[in-house]
């Protein structure tokens, strides 16, 4: 093929350009440390990266929600444990009160102990976290329990029995609350009744009905505590699952998106050599001229 | 001896002319669009030499100064050049839109990132629906979401406007090129008819045709008088000194190219072809998609939101207002954050409505229930990336082909200094030998004349 000076310069420049371009691409990859910098470089991979990143975004939110759900449940669990202790204490007091040999002073002492237990139960039921009452169902801004009468005759529950759910995974909402209506209301009322029966020396009721009621209450409470525990377990499992999933996804995403440094630096060396060679060839070839050899 | 003298003088002239051609070539070795020339030297007529009664040659003569140019390579080059500039213009525009969408970066202020932040804030609110601070957060991130939609829409509209402006500039360029080609047609046909040389005009014309091929696909026909007729997509752009002026018609909603006789021009290739495609199809298409996303999301969000209750018992409030991505905004009611509806039954702790709103992210509510908001946005990016990638591949294929044709063309048309040096040497030698010849003939005359002393 005939070679003219313009074609020689044109094609040398072309080769330089090609090498320049591939150098630039590699440098861009190295400086961003990413295999793909914009989706059009590889639409297929980009689509997968976007999908994986979506999962990561929602996973991290669900992880946060799960942790919050867990702390809500553990607050509830602590409160329920507290209630259990108070209930057991009331049962013991009731057993003491049923001792026929007890004098009036002792019974009054028992009553005042029961009074403080009732107060503690109501305080636990009115517990608030982040300025909201956690045992009022979805009525979170009103104090759930108020006591009628002094000495107390009954407790009024101002909340409702709706549950609050947190979203801990896509389309999985989990109940994180137990309304005070189902957890406390009967217990408080039963303790109040028992206290009043002791105070009015209604021994038949105290010895049979009240003991029976408190036993039932304890049974129900234990059931509630178990269900909170199993929810906690589920949340723990969920947290573990999300964490593992995040690790898997990060490994996948990194495999696609992150740069294989060793490979790229080897490529860079190759391209650099090619670039140097094309530069030096152009420099040398360009200097050659027949006129230099004529005398 | 007179014959020898004549021949020797002609030899001087012919070689001088040939060196002239060399010198012109060397001078133009770097000129863009220059095609090397060659002196076509033929042996002159044979006459009967009366002295010896034998036919004898009478030296050499310059037949023509030929322009070495391969027209076939021109046709190939211009075809690929039209495609090349079509795809490179499409590529740069789509790449622009792609970068507006934010591509793969989730952490910059692009629509996707803002969307995710909005969702995160909603999730946080779902856990504490009575918290006013979290409600303020939602209001802020919803405002950001609206602004991102507004900006994205406006930026795409700006690109459309810029490309419309660009097409006006290109049409002016197109008209200028054709005006120059028309003038050249006139000059060339006059020179042809008068038998004058016009190699330089041909060089100019080929350069102009090359740049015209970047604007639109062209077919060039050569007429008998060496003038040309240019056709493109069924229209005659130039014939002799007849040419139609092109103008941009933006009176309708579409960008139209119209000749001054009212006919419209729809080039399929070249930068003009791509500009029409971009302004009329591609750009509005992506704008529509962004619009669909915003409208469907807004409607569904508002429907669910208005079914819920705010902190103060209000219900039936819209969250977003606006007719599309262009003017999407949070509604005035939301400025009072207590109006944000999270509750289904009016109790402050109920979060069923806000949970439903959170779930919208992964529900198929966009584009007639075909995809979820996130998937739809990803599919826009994905579509864009595929189209961009396609244009890039096509463009680089075209440029490889056009570069190889251009190399061939330059190697055939271009000046080789080595060749010129060799030619120069040979003509220079011939010239000095011819001079020597004159000297010999002169001494022959001297010898002859000395007889009469």
**Residue A80: both structure tokens together:** 């329920």
- Residue B252: the pLDDT is 77
Per-residue pLDDT 10s for chain A (295 aa) are 788 888 888 888 888 998 999 999 899 999 989 888 889 999 999 999 999 989 999 999 999 999 999 999 999 999 999 999 999 999 998 888 887 777 778 888 888 899 999 999 999 999 988 888 989 888 888 899 998 887 888 889 998 888 899 999 988 889 998 888 888 888 999 999 888 888 887 777 677 888 888 899 999 999 999 999 999 999 999 999 999 999 999 999 999 889 999 999 999 999 999 999 988 988 888 778 888 888 7
Q: Each residue of B344-356: pLDDT tens digit?
A: 988 888 999 999 9
Q: With beta carbons under 8 A apart, name residues in chain A contacting B120.
A: 57, 61
3-state secondary structure of B242: strand
- Residue B348: the pLDDT is 87
- Residue B444: the pLDDT is 92
Q: With beta carbons under 8 A apart, name residues in chain B contacting A129.
A: none
- Residue A281: the pLDDT is 87
Of A65, A136, A162, the CB nearest to B127: A65
Q: With beta carbons under 8 A apart, name residues in chain B contacting A166.
A: 126-127
Interchain contact, A40 vs B359, CB within 8 Å: no
Average pLDDT, chain B: 92
B24, B411 Cβ separation under 8 angstroms: no
**Residue A278: both structure tokens together:** 């094309």
Question: A222 CB contacts (<8 Å, ≥6 apart)?
Answer: A84
Annotate B300-340 with DSSP letters as a single string. HHHHHHHHSB-TTS-BS--SEESSSTTT-EE-GGGGSGGGS
Chain A contact for B359, CB < 8 A? Answer: yes
- Residue B214: the pLDDT is 95
pLDDT beyond 70 at B108: no
pLDDT beyond 80 at B1: no
- Overall average pLDDT of the B232-240 stretch: 90
| C-alpha span between B253 and B281 (Å, rounded) | 12
* Long-range pairs, B49-54, Cβ under 8 A, ≥24: B49/B3
Q: Which has the closest alpha carbon to A145: A116, A115, A124, A176?
A: A124
Chain A contact for B263, CB < 8 A? Answer: no
**Residue B102: both structure tokens together:** 């934010």
| C-alpha span between B257 and B255 (Å, rounded) | 7
- Overall average pLDDT of the B402-409 stretch: 93
pLDDT beyond 70 at B416: yes
B150, B325 Cβ separation under 8 angstroms: yes
Question: B303 CB contacts (<8 Å, ≥6 apart)?
Answer: none
Of B106, B411, B413, the CB nearest to A53: B106
- Residue B53: the pLDDT is 87
Confidence of residue B107 (pLDDT cuts 50, 70, 90): low
CB count within 10 Å of CB B52 equals 8
Q: Each residue of B312-323: pLDDT tens digit?
A: 888 999 999 999
Q: For residue B26, say if its preceding peptide bond is cis, omega within 30 degrees of 0.
A: no
3-state secondary structure of A138: coil
Query: Among all chains, which residue has been given the structure tokens 């609050």?
Result: A164
- Residue A147: the pLDDT is 87
**Residue A38: both structure tokens together:** 């914009």
pLDDT beyond 70 at B330: yes
pTM of the model: 0.85
B82, B270 Cβ separation under 8 angstroms: yes
Question: A196 CB contacts (<8 Å, ≥6 apart)?
Answer: A151, A153
Q: With beta carbons under 8 A apart, name residues in chain B contacting A50.
A: 104, 378, 381-382
Q: Each residue of B346-399: pLDDT tens digit?
A: 888 899 999 999 999 888 999 888 899 999 999 999 999 999 999 999 999 999
pLDDT beyond 70 at B106: no
| C-alpha span between B321 and B279 (Å, rounded) | 29
pLDDT beyond 80 at B187: yes
- Residue A181: the pLDDT is 86
- Overall average pLDDT of the B75-92 stretch: 95
Distances (CA, A) of B358 to A59, A67, B362, B365: 14, 18, 8, 13
Chain B contact for A101, CB < 8 A? Answer: no
ipTM beyond cut 0.90: no
Decide: residue B271, CB within 10 A, 0-12 exposed, 13-18 middle, 19+ buried: buried
Chain A contact for B352, CB < 8 A? Answer: yes
Chain A contact for B126, CB < 8 A? Answer: yes
- E strand or H helix at A200: none
């Amino acid at each position: 093929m005939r070679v003219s000076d313009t074609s020689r310069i044109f094609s040398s420049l072309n080769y330089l350009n090609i090498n320049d371009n591939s150098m630039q691409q590699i440098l861009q990859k190295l400086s961003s440390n990413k295999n793909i910098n914009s989706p059009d470089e590889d639409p297929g991979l980009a689509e997968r990266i976007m999908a994986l990143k979506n999962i990561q975004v929602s996973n991290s939110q669900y992880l946060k929600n799960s942790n919050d759900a867990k702390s809500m449940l553990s607050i509830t669990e602590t409160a329920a444990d507290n209630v259990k202790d108070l209930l057991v204490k009331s049962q013991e007091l009731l057993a003491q009160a049923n001792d026929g040999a007890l004098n009036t002073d002792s019974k009054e002492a028992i009553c005042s102990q029961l009074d403080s237990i009732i107060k503690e139960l109501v305080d636990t039921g009115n517990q608030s976290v982040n300025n909201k009452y956690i045992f009022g169902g979805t009525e979170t801004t009103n104090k759930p329990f108020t006591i009628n009468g002094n000495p107390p005759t009954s407790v009024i529950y101002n909340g409702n029995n709706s549950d609050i759910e947190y979203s801990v995974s896509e389309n999985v909402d989990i109940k994180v609350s137990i309304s005070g209506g189902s957890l406390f209301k009967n217990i408080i009322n039963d303790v109040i009744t028992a206290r009043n029966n002791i105070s009015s020396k209604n021994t038949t009721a105290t010895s049979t009905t009240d003991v029976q009621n408190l036993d039932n209450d304890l049974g129900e409470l234990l059931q509630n505590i178990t269900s909170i525990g199993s929810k906690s377990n589920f949340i723990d499992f969920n947290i573990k699952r999300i964490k593992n999933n995040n690790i898997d996804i990060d490994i996948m995403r990194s495999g696609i998106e992150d740069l294989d440094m060793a490979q790229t630096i080897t490529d860079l060396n190759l391209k650099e050599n090619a670039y140097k060679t094309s530069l030096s060839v152009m420099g040398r070839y360009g200097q050659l001229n027949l006129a230099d050899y004529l005398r | 001896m007179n014959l020898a003298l004549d021949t020797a003088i002609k030899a001087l002239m012919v070689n001088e002319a040939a060196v002239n051609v060399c010198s012109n070539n060397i001078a133009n070795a770097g000129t863009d669009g220059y095609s090397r020339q060659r002196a076509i030297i033929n042996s002159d007529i044979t006459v009967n030499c009366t002295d010896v009664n034998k036919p004898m040659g009478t030296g050499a003569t310059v037949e023509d100064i030929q322009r070495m140019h391969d027209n076939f390579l021109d046709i190939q080059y211009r075809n690929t050049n039209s495609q090349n500039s079509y795809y490179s213009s499409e590529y740069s525009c789509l790449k622009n839109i792609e970068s507006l969408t934010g591509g793969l970066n989730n952490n910059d202020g692009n629509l996707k990132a803002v969307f995710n932040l909005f969702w995160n804030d909603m999730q946080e609110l779902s856990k504490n629906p009575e918290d006013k601070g979290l409600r303020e957060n939602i209001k802020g991130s919803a405002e950001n979401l609206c602004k991102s939609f507004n900006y994205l829409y406006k930026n795409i509209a700006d690109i459309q406007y810029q490309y419309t402006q660009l097409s006006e500039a290109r049409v002016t360029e197109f008209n200028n090129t054709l005006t120059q080609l028309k003038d050249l047609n006139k000059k060339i046909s006059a020179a042809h008819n008068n038998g004058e040389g016009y190699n330089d005009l041909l060089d100019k014309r080929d350069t102009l045709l090359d740049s015209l091929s970047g604007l639109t696909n062209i077919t060039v026909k050569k007429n008998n008088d060496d003038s040309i007729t240019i056709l493109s997509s069924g229209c005659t752009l130039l014939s002799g000194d007849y040419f139609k002026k092109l103008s941009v018609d933006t009176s309708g909603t579409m960008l139209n190219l119209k000749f001054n006789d009212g006919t419209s021009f729809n080039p399929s290739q070249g930068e003009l072809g791509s500009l029409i495609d971009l302004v009329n199809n591609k750009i509005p298409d992506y704008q529509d998609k962004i619009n669909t996303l915003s409208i469907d999301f807004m409607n569904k969000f508002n429907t669910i939101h208005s079914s819920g209750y705010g902190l103060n018992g209000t219900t039936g409030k819209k969250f977003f207002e606006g007719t599309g991505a262009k003017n999407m905004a949070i509604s005035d009611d939301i400025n009072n954050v207590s109006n944000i509806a999270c509750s289904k039954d009016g109790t402050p702790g109920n979060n069923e409505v806000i949970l439903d709103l959170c779930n919208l992210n992964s529900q198929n509510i966009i584009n007639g229930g075909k995809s979820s908001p996130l998937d739809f946005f990803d599919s826009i990016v994905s579509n864009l990336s595929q189209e961009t990638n396609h244009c890039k591949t096509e463009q680089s294929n075209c440029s490889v082909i056009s570069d190889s044709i251009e190399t061939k063309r330059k190697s055939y048309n271009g000046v080789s200094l080595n060749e010129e040096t060799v030619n120069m040497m040979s003509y220079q030698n011939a010239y000095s030998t011819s001079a020597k010849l004159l000297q010999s003939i002169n001494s022959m005359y001297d010898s002859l004349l000395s007889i009469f002393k």
